Amino acid sequence: MRLAQLFSMVLIATSAAALAASFRGPRFQPEGMPSTMPVRCQVWHNLPGAQITDTLATDDLEQTPLQTQSIGPLEFAPGFKDEWACSMSALIAPPVTGKYTFSIAARDSGILFLSSDATMAHRKYIAEVPSATDIHTYRWYSSQASRSIELVAGKRYFIQAICKSGPGPGGISVGWTLPNGTFQGPIPADRLREYTGDVTLPDQRVHRLILSLKPDQPPTTQPGIHKFVRGAHVDVDGDSQDLSYLMFMPKSIETSTDPLPMMVFLHGNNRQGYSLTGVEQTGPLRNIEANAKLRDWLPMIVLAPQLPPDWRWDTPGAAQSVNALVEQLCRRYPRIDRHRIYLTGLSMGGKGTWLTLEDSPQTYAAVAPISAVDVRPDLAPELLKNLPELHIICGGNDNGFTAGSKRMYAALKPALGDRVQLTVFDHEGHGVWDHFYPTQAFYEELLKFSK
């Protein structure tokens, strides 16, 4: 009887402890305290916005995190009500040698870095969530999955995932596909080890970028569309990539010696690669190729750079690469009129348009981002105050793209006045660029402006 009573008391005590733990919620500790959980999660509160790339580009995350928590597995969904950001860091311990694919899911946005060893110094961008997903939806955007990465059993690799959440439910989760095809999401705690060094945030701003044109692809002086597959090489803080680009040369290149304007076009998502086929089949290049009347009339060069497979336009260095490519081509083609260089892009390329413009506003005479989210609306007025012309275009039913376009217009109107326009197509969604790129009027409007 006494043994039964003792067993009952132990059972009641155990249940009470479990119940109390279930109501205890997240347990935040001072940074550096030992923990049995392998993931260090740093948290910042009351940070405006929902885009992690924009947050990294400011000084917001340089302040000391308000909270640091040890967690496991590689997932964080705290239920905060404010606008917050977090960084999860640990060491990955691969169970077998082979090729792994990493996946990230986040609300509202997230970015994933992996090092080639156990040090933070060698981390590189591998995947990103550009806009909100459910935190267990790992394949909604192609950018959420990394390329295949060779890992060695017994070796440790530093991993860092960063999330930015707007108001309301937010969170982040990281999964991986093992060499045998098994998917684990989130990555369990037993595949992770503690990282004991100091953890800092990656700097979205690029410190060193070198871009060069390939000498084996000489310039062209013939009218038509010309492909420069892997025609440029770029090194961004040690990340070396080849860039392909496409150029349309107008008929007037043969019939006149006058300087020629140039329009730069930035493609949307899922057009990355090296073949340039995807770039040729979208936006203005598709219309130039299909419409002989437009092609024969168009009096400007069109440059369309293509991102390499693992990049987006908000990948560190991508926007700077566009401006470096423009500069190199202006040197290679002295007939490019530096006073009449224009910039446009659609969807992800619309965001790239903002990033490229904000990196080098003095380069462009007129700019038209189409179906783009907002990018640093707090900084844009000062950066773009001298821009001759800006035309923001979006659909009225395009969720965050509509809201972002309107935010940029509201932010820039006081600084630019009549030099900024906003066109919203009511009851339309994402593909409103088809109202513009096929028309002669779109290019005529750009050609009115000069620096």
Confidence of residue 54 (pLDDT cuts 50, 70, 90): low
% of the chain residues with pLDDT over 90: 63
Give the pLDDT score at 175. Answer: 97
159 shares its domain with 230: no
Give the residue-averaged pLDDT of 322-350: 95
Residue 389 pLDDT grade (very low, low, confident, very high; cuts 50, 70, 90): very high
Domain assignment present for 7: no
| Residues 333 and 267 both lie in one domain | yes
> Tell me, what's the pLDDT at 12?
35
Q: CA of 211: how far to CAs of 120, 236, 275, in Å? A: 26, 9, 19
Say if 200 falls within a structural domain. no
Both 137 and 77 in one domain: the answer is yes
Q: What is the mean pLDDT of residues 153-167?
A: 93
Residue 25 lies in a domain: no
- The verdict on 305 and 414 lying in the same domain is yes
CATH code of the domain covering residue 352: 3.40.50.1820
If you average pLDDT over residues 345-358, what whole number do you get? 95
Is 18 within the bounds of a domain?
A: no
Range from 100-109, 309-318, 406-415 carrying the lowest mean pLDDT:
309-318
Global pTM value: 0.63
- What is the CATH classification number for the domain harbouring 149? 2.60.120.1560
Position 177 in a domain = yes
Q: What confidence tens digit (pLDDT) does each residue in 219-259 have? A: 888 999 999 999 999 987 667 899 999 999 999 998 888 99
pLDDT(3) > 60:
no
Q: Are residues 359 and 274 part of one domain?
A: yes
pLDDT, mean of residues 358-385: 93
- Answer whether residue 187 shows pLDDT above 90: yes
Q: Give a yes or no: residue 4 inside a domain.
A: no
Assign 3-class secondary structure to the chain: CHHHHHHHHHHHHHHHHHHHHHHHCCCCECCCCCCCCCEEEEEEECCCCCCHHHHHCCCHHHCCCCEEEEECCCEECCCCCCCEEEEEEEEECCCCCEEEEEEEEEECEEEEEEECCCCHHHEEEEEEECCCCCCCCCCCCHHHECCCEEECCCCCEEEEEEEEECCCCCEEEEEEECCCCCEECCCCHHHEECCCCCCCCCCCCCCCEEEEECCCCCCCCCCEEEEEEEEEEEEECCEEEEEEEEEEECCHHHHCCCCEEEEEEECCCCCCCCCCHHHHCCHHHHHHHHCHHHHHHCCCEEEEEECCCCCCCCCCCHHHHHHHHHHHHHHHCCCEEEEEEEEEEECHHHHHHHHHHHHCHHHCCEEEEECCCCCCCCCHHHHCCCCCEEEEEEECCCHHHHHHHHHHHHHHHHHHHHHEEEEEECCCCCCHHHHCCCCHHHHHHHHCCCC
Q: Is the domain of 180 the same as that of 271?
A: no
What's residue 297's pLDDT?
Answer: 96
In a domain, 86, yes or no: yes
Question: Do 232 and 314 share a structural domain?
Answer: yes
pLDDT of residue 65: 80
Q: 296 is in which domain, residue-wise? A: 209-447
The burial of 69, by beta-carbon neighbours within 10 Å (0-12 exposed, 13-18 middle, 19 or more buried), is given as buried
Number of domains in the chain: 2
- Verify that 214 and 98 share a domain, yes or no: no
Mean pLDDT of 160-175: 90
* Last residue in a domain, options 165, 193, 221: 193
Do 215 and 83 have their domain in common? no
87 plus 51 within the same structural domain: yes
Q: Which pLDDT band holds residue 204 (cuts at 50, 70, 90)?
A: low
Residue 426 has pLDDT above 90, yes or no: yes
Do 189 and 213 lie in one domain? The reply is: no
Q: Using the predicted structure, report yes or no on whether residue 386 has a pLDDT greater than 90.
A: yes
pLDDT computed for residue 16 by the predictor = 34
- 122 and 217 inside one domain: no
Residue 130 lies in a domain: yes
Per-residue pLDDT at 6 exceeds 50: no
